[in-house]
Structure 1
Amino acid sequence: MIILFTLNIIVKPVWLLLDMQVQKEVGSTYGLYFALLNSTVILNILLDLGMSNYNNRKISVNNNRFSKYFQNISIIRFGLAILYLLVLQLWGIVAQYTMHDQMMLFFLGLSQVFLSSLLYVRSNLTAFGKYKLDSLFSVLDRALMIAGVLYLFSQRDSGLVNIENFIYVQTIGYGFSFIAGLITLFIIGQPGIPKINKRFARVLLRKSAPYALIVLLMAAYHSSDAIMIERMLSNGKVEASIYAQSMRILLALNNYAYLFAVLLLPMFSKLLAKKEKIQGLIATSSSLLIYGVSSVAILMAFFADDVIALCYGKFNDESIFVDWRLNVEALQNMGDVLFSADVFKLIIYGIIPMSINYCFGTLITASGNMKLLNKIAFASLLLNIVLNFALIPKYGAWGAALASLITQSFSGAFQVVFAIKLFKLKVNLIGVARFFLGVAIILLSTIFLDEINLSSRLPVMFGLLLIGLLLAVNFRGVLNMAKGFRNNHN
């Protein structure tokens, strides 16, 4: 897991920066791409139906099951891939996309087929205990795509930097990584010829269904915003492109919060199986993660204009920085930056309820209470759709950002309430007070941080974050959590 985390820290930010550069290069066309991409993500569950999670649990316990499971699952997944691509094209027809747009939708869908298949291959590698290989394949696709995009930019004068080539690069990256992973899996597991057992397939799909439903519902309310923006507004491509700017940064932060949930799931599962207390682990993990993301969200929202200008601003030939301050006078798209920053201020706060979901939702998942999570996710989806219909026509991307923040907060609040009730958790008022005191330090710091030049601001911010962390988090609990993680991976 440490290797995986390190590789992700290196590769994913590079891909994020290149993705930003592509958007700046192609303009509002990126908004259409973002809406199409979200369509493929919502329907992505058709490719797996929760089988990878179920497969991983079964193979981890007994590697001898691999051949039987692979023979059946590979046939099922092939059929699901064809169904998925057909459903995507049907959606393209219903949504009245042009033939060119449907072609983009097809290749984005094909990329999702390769990505989902790669994740299935990786689930088998981890089940075999091949964590280093899993770490390699977790970044191979992005590394290949980075190389492809860098090549496109090296041929910018030839007009190769366009949204179509950007999509093709992703399809090739995911496709090559899947084929390489599949060959590796065949060498390790040596499965037989794929074949289907109807009884086995029915049992597999029935047991995977609850996990598939929660993924579908969460994907729907996370990804429907961009589609509704692009479809409902006359300038939908432009607004969706602006929305994508902020979502990119949010999802980059979310990747690291998600890794936290990956660490917590086996720890919660083990404690619940042994009927041991989980109070200490949930208190420490939630305060550590939520303090971190709250601090980042507060600072990024306060410096939203600078963040968006630095990421998406188009500067003239003058220097971007003057006397360690952003040279806003050199900005050529000031209006776009200011509007995008207003959207960003709302969206970035979404990382806080999302992280709450990762802590308390992971605990509920470990208990196997998927019915409760599905109910919360379904209610969140309905709320999100209603809010989007009410807010997008009047406020555009900003309205979708507000709807997203309200929905995430609704989901997080209910998961906390139900977790406290189900597991009889006690609210430690001293711990809560320490947490809010740590966050308050970050809030108060924004009063004077803007008056400090950049060279002094960074070390001051780091110092304040550290002081807040010491106040907000019980470090004895952190040491116990680290010990528990090591025990789970020995």
Structure 2
Amino acid sequence: MAQYKRELIINVTFLILANLLIKPYYIFFVERKIQNQVGTAAWGAYFTLFSLSMLPQIILDLGLTSYINQRLSGHRDQLHMIWKDTAWVKPILALIFAVIFLLICYVGGYFLTYRTWILWITLNQVLISVILFLRAYISGLGHYRLDSAFSVADKFLFILLFSLWAWTGTITSIDTFLWIQTVSLGVPLILGTAWLLMRTGISFKRLDFGQTLNILKQSLPFAGIFVLMVLYCRMEPVWIGWLRPDGAYQAGIYAAGYRLLDAANMMGFLFAGILLPMFSHTISLGDKKEYQSVFDLSWNLMISLSVLICFPIINHHTFIMAQLYTDSYPGILPILMICLIPLTINYLLSTILTAAGRVVMMNYFFLISIGVSVVGHMLLTPTMGAGGAAIVLLITQVVTSFLLSYLVEKEKLITLTGGVHLLILVKAITLGLLSGWLVSLLIDHPVLSLITHMVALLLALAWFNVLPWQALIRLIFKK
């Protein structure tokens, strides 16, 4: 039983260390520096276009990645058949995505002004999709640690290229940022393809259109997950642009705060990538005790990490924003960072539902979340701008957490009754609030206060058994 839990801990440990070294540097030094150099309005325009590309991005995948991960994890002997039926679909989907995204930008009035940016974004989205496609095979085959390495490879390469470029000049345009991103995505794509071809012996055979069409039909519900989540999670900049006369500027303000949430939220995304094949494999074996155990451990870890990240940032949000940006707008950061907790819960619950094949029902619940988001934006964003959009995001994520919890319990996948999981959540939030209050009373220096808050909160989470450190140590060092 400890096999999956140990593999989970090892991979999560690697992810945390890698992300602590790479992602914060990328977010706080690279992206933040570029935004300061190009200006809030220019970055806001880019951020709006990028968010707009997330909607037709579903065409790039059509649920294939989740389908492959779930199917291959439970039926690894079908590798060659699954590859044969899916490999040639990517170029076709990429072409369709490009046409649709370009049309959206043209109809929306963006293309003539931002043509070069739009073309770069199109290419980069295709590269990201192919990398995720390859990672689905890598993790589906059980190579979780290699998948974890690929999850940070593009950011690591981007930092190297950015550093080399910074020695010779300053990045004063979004164009330079985008072509560096293209190169940093291209290298892991080539390496991932080469590894998969050499390690598994798969090859590019003639397309069986009928079977491929059947695979696409089976994967469409998974595609629905992505498009619906984008609609209620990632469309705030688009709503701001539509509902505010100063849309680009307000989107830039939102992007400045959202950048920290996005960096922190990657932990949940990467967690889900590790858990999906594990859940799929144990569910296919009918071992409920095993995946309940993995779920319980994941709940404690993910809640602990989300609280450990969000509350120190919330408690020091004014100082952090002033250090990061020349134009500092700290007001929305606490609202956005508290979203990390329901977002983390939603990642975990949606992963177990996806692994169990309860995709269609989950999509119905996501439609409710979209309705909440639309109504919220219509009411708050026109008058409150970026702040209103942040409030809408928080409300939507909390509602989604309740909906997914109900569905998981209704489908009898995971036992949430008894209040154990809720107690862990309440304890973690309480410790986050109390530790921040005590540290603010005792320490005035912002840097020392921030570090002390994180250390004190980590110790408190371990002391009150929210973070099961003794179990983690046993699992890591168990032979």
The TM-score, its normalising length taken from structure 1, stands at 0.84
* Paired amino acid for 1:351: L
User: Are positions 1:276 and 2:267 aligned together?
Assistant: no
SS at match of 1:35: helix
What is the Cα deviation at residue 43 of structure 1? Answer: 1.7
Q: Which of the residues 357, 367, 372 maps onto 1:368?
A: 357
Q: CA deviation at 1:432?
A: 4.5
Q: What does residue 22 of structure 1 align with?
A: 34
Q: Greater relative contact order: 1 or 2 (C-alpha under 8 angstroms, separation 6 or more)? A: 2
The residue identity in structure 2 corresponding to 1:405 is L
Contact 1:31 1:230 in 2 (8 A): no
Change (3 A) 1:460 1:102: closer
Q: Percent identity?
A: 25
Separation in structure 1 between the aligned mates of residue 201 and residue 420 of structure 2, nearest angstrom:
56
Q: 1:387 aligned to 2:376? A: yes
- The one of 386, 396, 400 equivalent to 2:389 is 400
From 288, 291, 296, give the equivalent of 2:309: 296
2:391 aligned partner, one-letter code: L
1:340-489 mapped onto 2 (5 Å cutoff) = 340-423=329-412, 425=415, 427-429=417-419, 432-433=422-423, 435-451=425-441, 452-454=443-445, 457=449, 458-459=451-452, 461-473=454-466, 475=468, 479=471
Stretch deviating more after TM superposition (63-72 or 194-203): 63-72
Corresponding residue number in structure 2 for 1:7? 18
1:437, 1:178 → 2: CA distance? 42
Q: Does 1:259 find its partner at 2:259?
A: no
Q: Tell me which amino acid in the other structure corresponds to 2:426.
A: F
Residue 217 of structure 2 corresponds to residue 206 of structure 1: yes
Q: 1:75 aligns with which of 88, 106, 115?
A: 88
Is the Cα–Cα contact under 8 Å of residues 67 and 191 in structure 1 kept in the other structure? yes
CA contact (8 A) 2:308 2:457 kept: no
- 1:429 CA displacement: 4.5
Q: Deviations over 1:164-223 (max 9, x none)?
A: 111111122212332333233333344444422122112201111111111111022222
Shift of 1:346: 0.9
Give the length in aligned residue pairs.
460
Equivalent residue number for residue 114 of structure 1: 127
1:343 CA drift (Å): 1.1
Residue 184 to residue 429, structure 1, CA distance change in 2 (3 Å):
closer
* Residue 91 (structure 1) aligned with residue 80 (structure 2): no
1:453 is aligned with what amino acid? D
> CA, structure 1 residues 267+72, in 2 after alignment: closer, same or farther (shift >3 Å)?
closer
Structure 1 gap segments, 5+ residues each: 315-335
Amino acid in the other structure paired with 2:459: L
Whether the 8 Å CA contact 1:89–1:102 is kept in 2: the answer is: no
| Paired residues of 1:284 and 1:473 also in contact (CA < 8 A) | no
Q: Is the 8 A contact 1:153 1:161 kept in 2?
A: no
Shift of 1:447: 3.1
Give 1:324-335 correspondences, 5 Å limit.
Answer: none
TM-score by length of 2: 0.86
Contact kept in structure 1, 2:240 and 2:250, CA below 8 Å: yes
Cα offset, 1:342, TM superposition: 1.0
Task: Specify whether residues 145 and 215 from structure 1 end up closer, same or farther in structure 2 by C-alpha distance, changes over 3 A only.
Answer: same
Question: d(CA) in 1 for partners of 2:396 and 2:344?
Answer: 14
Deviations 1:370-425 (A, max 9, x none): 12210111211222122112221111111110111111111011112232333273
| CA contact 2:151–2:270 (8 Å) conserved in 1 | no
Q: Is the 8 A contact 1:230 1:236 kept in 2?
A: yes
For residues 236 and 121 of structure 1, what CA distance do their matches in structure 2 show?
A: 37
Structure-1 separation of matches of 2:411 and 2:77: 36
For 1:137 and 1:52, the matched residues in 2 are separated by 15
Per-residue CA deviation, residues 229-284 of structure 1 (Å, 9 max, x unaligned), is 12332221111111111111111111112333334445544554435346655444
Task: Note the alpha carbon deviations across 1:63-95, whole angstroms, 9 max, x for none.
Answer: 664444434423221111001000011001110
